[in-house]
Chains A and B, each alone.
Chain A
Amino acid sequence: MASEKLVLNFPRGIVREPVVYRLVKDYDLRVNIMRASISPDEAGHMVVEISGDKRKLEAGRKYIESVGVTWQPLSKDVHWRQDRCVHCTACVSVCPTSALSVKRPEMVVQFDEDKCIGCELCIPVCGYAAVEIQF
């Protein structure tokens, strides 16, 4: 069983396509929606974790593309800027998945992109703009 976290970009006009339903029903995939939003111009973004048989996952991605939804791995959209991080640890207590954690006793902040779900809770608490999320 394979699993991947993707950001799906729904261009204007496709928001009515039941993409998640199709992925579940036609491709036998498990879809965990971590967040979803539609902007005022009706373009939308969805952060999902999709798991299932590897071949079916690939087919599912082809289906998504076929209806005009673009996607990229979530890790591509989340950037922990090491050059900006001062390792104050303020982000660590708000991170729900421990993607941001502290290495003790050195008190060094570390980021594990595989654990990040793109919830953005760390963004306002970081005073140094060390986390950037684009989607």
Chain B
Amino acid sequence: MAKTIREINEKIRKGQAVVVDAEEIIDLVAQKGAKKAAAEVDVVTTGTFGPMCSSGAFLNSGHTKPRAKFSKVWLNDVNAYAGLAAVDFYIGATELPDKDPDNSVFPGRFVYGGAHVIEDLVAGKEVEFKATAYGTDCYPRKEVRSWITLANLNQAVLTNPRNAYQNYNVAVNRDGKRVIYTYMGVLQPGIANANYCSAGQLSPLLNDPLYRTIGIGTRIFLGGGVGYVWWEGTQHAPAVQRLPNGAPQVPAGTLAVCGDLKQMNTQWLRGVSLVGYGVSLGVGIGIPMPVLDEDVIKHCAVSDADLVAPIVDYSTDYPNCIPGNLGYVSYKELKSGSITINGKKVPTAGLSSYKKAKEIATILKEWIRKGEFLLSEPVASIPTPESGQKCKPFVEKPIL
């Protein structure tokens, strides 16, 4: 018995939609079977919260008097890209203050960066704004210094080119002596710890492994507000090795998302300082899955035991683009607190918060149950495994 998004929305409007999260659906399908569950359930909600570096926000400050066409912009001393129209600029999550010591005293602490500027704006704090301009007849002003707040900006649009990675590496350090500091956290030598970063069974793209319901225009929970998928994410690589259930065994799909920063909340949008690596933005995303048929619900019923991630060495293999891995482990094993690598018990830790992922899936569930959040029909699909699309390496042509 197939359903359409339109029919599901009708039920949502009437407050009659049956909504469960991607954790609850596992037992439900196990008990009732996919067919019965698909007939009963209308929407399954997913969630994820973790550092997502490819994030940032387009801001429009409004025009100063007299007008200026900003050439350079700084927010709390963090450079924002101003190569746009007069008072538009983009604050990138990983940007550091001009005078940040970065990794010159290794490992650097990276206490503040673009992601923290975004968090401060969302928290309603005043942010120090500085801009320089060369001056034109129509935009004569050459310098601006002021405090700004999110409320006073015209638009503030969180615009993230790559979020919600479908699966991710489990990072280890195979080096014999050296501690390494990575975007996957601090890794002890001799494979003494392993860090993973996915919500597993709650993760949006692991519940829609073949991108059947998520596409361009999909309405989502983003940072506490309502957002949208605006494109496939950068490095979207659907053509990878997959399990029989369709789930990729390695990092695969990604999403480009956007949403109104003014609706967001620092509970779901947080600056992250990764020692020795840099700054990132902790982003909370939740995506509803319309239960169109049995096939959709079967994918949503996937559990941590059915999903695997590759163990990758970040001391030599990852930095040098050496393919391959040290094997696969399930998310069930990863979440147990330890995994076995080469016969050795290795403690695991997450960078993605399962607790927050669950909270997001729960909030989204409530929004839909109350009729406050309707599902959207994607206006176009994102590339599927059949497209053959992979993540290409940089093609270097030496400049002589």
Cβ contact within 8 Å between A127 and B51:
yes
* Contact indicator per residue, chain B 251-287, by CB within 8 Å of chain A (1) or not (0): 0000000000000000000101111000010100000
Task: Identify which of A87, A104, A108, A125 contacts B185 (C-beta below 8 A).
Answer: A125
Interface membership of B341, Cβ < 8 A: no
- Taking each of A87, A88, A91, A92, which has the highest tally of chain B beta carbons within 10 Å of its own beta carbon? A88
Q: How far is the CA of A89 from the CA of B353 in the complex (A)?
A: 7
Task: Identify which of B49, B272, B335 contacts A104 (C-beta below 8 A).
Answer: B335
- B50 cross-chain contacts in A, Cβ below 8 A: 88
Interface residues on A, range: 20 to 34
Interface membership of B349, Cβ < 8 A: yes
Cβ contact within 8 Å between B347 and A93:
yes
Which residues of A from 93 to 135 have beta carbons under 8 Å from B?
93-94, 102, 104-109, 124-125, 127-129
Which residues of A from 22 to 73 have beta carbons under 8 Å from B?
none
Cβ contact within 8 Å between B49 and A86:
yes
- Which chain B residue has the least Cβ–Cβ distance from A91? B349
- B337 cross-chain contacts in A, Cβ below 8 A: 92-93, 102, 104
Q: List 29 A-B contacts (CB under 8 A).
A: A86-B49, A86-B270, A86-B282, A87-B354, A87-B356, A88-B349, A88-B350, A90-B349, A91-B349, A93-B195, A93-B349, A104-B337, A106-B354, A106-B358, A107-B335, A107-B350, A107-B353, A108-B355, A109-B355, A124-B107, A124-B109, A125-B185, A125-B275, A127-B51, A127-B273, A127-B275, A128-B272, A128-B273, A128-B282
Further contacts, 14 of them, CB under 8 A, given A86-B355, A107-B353: A87-B353, A90-B195, A90-B350, A90-B351, A92-B337, A92-B347, A92-B349, A93-B349, A106-B355, A107-B350, A127-B51, A127-B272, A127-B282, A128-B270
Interfacial residues, chain B to chain A (CB-CB below 8 A):
49-51, 107, 109, 111, 185-186, 193, 195, 270, 272-275, 280, 282, 335-337, 347-356, 358
Interfacial residues, chain A to chain B (CB-CB below 8 A):
86-94, 102, 104-109, 124-125, 127-129
